[in-house]
Amino acid sequence: MTEDYVVIKALENGVSIIGLTRGKDTRFHHSEKLDEGEIMIAQFTEHTSAIKIRGKVELLTKHGQMRTAQ
C-alpha cells in the first residue's frame, strides 16, 4: 500500500493542521501550528483518513496545486 502525501505551505502565521483518524469514530489525533513560510509534509495512512487545515495555505498533492480562499 502506498500512502498519499500532501505538502502544506503556510502563507500566514498561525495556520492549524489537524489529523483525523479512521474507524468507527472520527477523532483528532494530531495537530500542528505553522507560521508563514513553514512547510509540512503530511501523509494519509491506515490511521489518518483526513486532514483539516485552518488558515491561508498552498497545498501540493498528486491531484494538483491549490490555495485556500481566505
Which residue would you say has higher pLDDT here, 18 or 3?
A: 18
Cell numbers at residue 17, please?
Answer: 493542521
- Long-range contacts (CB closer than 8 Å, 24 or more residues apart) made by 34-38: 34/8, 34/10, 35/10, 36/10, 36/11, 36/12, 37/9, 37/10, 38/9, 38/10
- Contact status, residue 54 vs residue 32, Cβ threshold 8 Å: no
Question: Residue 33: which CATH number?
Answer: 2.60.40.50
Which residue would you say has higher pLDDT here, 2 or 22?
A: 22
- pLDDT tens figures, 8-65: 999 999 999 998 887 777 777 789 999 999 999 988 877 778 889 999 999 999 999 9
- Number of helical H runs and strand E runs in the chain: 0, 7
For residue 48, what pLDDT is reported?
77
Number of domains in the chain: 1
For residue 1, what pLDDT is reported?
44
Domain containing 40 equals 5-67
For residue 59, what pLDDT is reported?
94
Helix (H/G/I), strand (E/B), else coil: 12: coil
For residue 3, what pLDDT is reported?
65
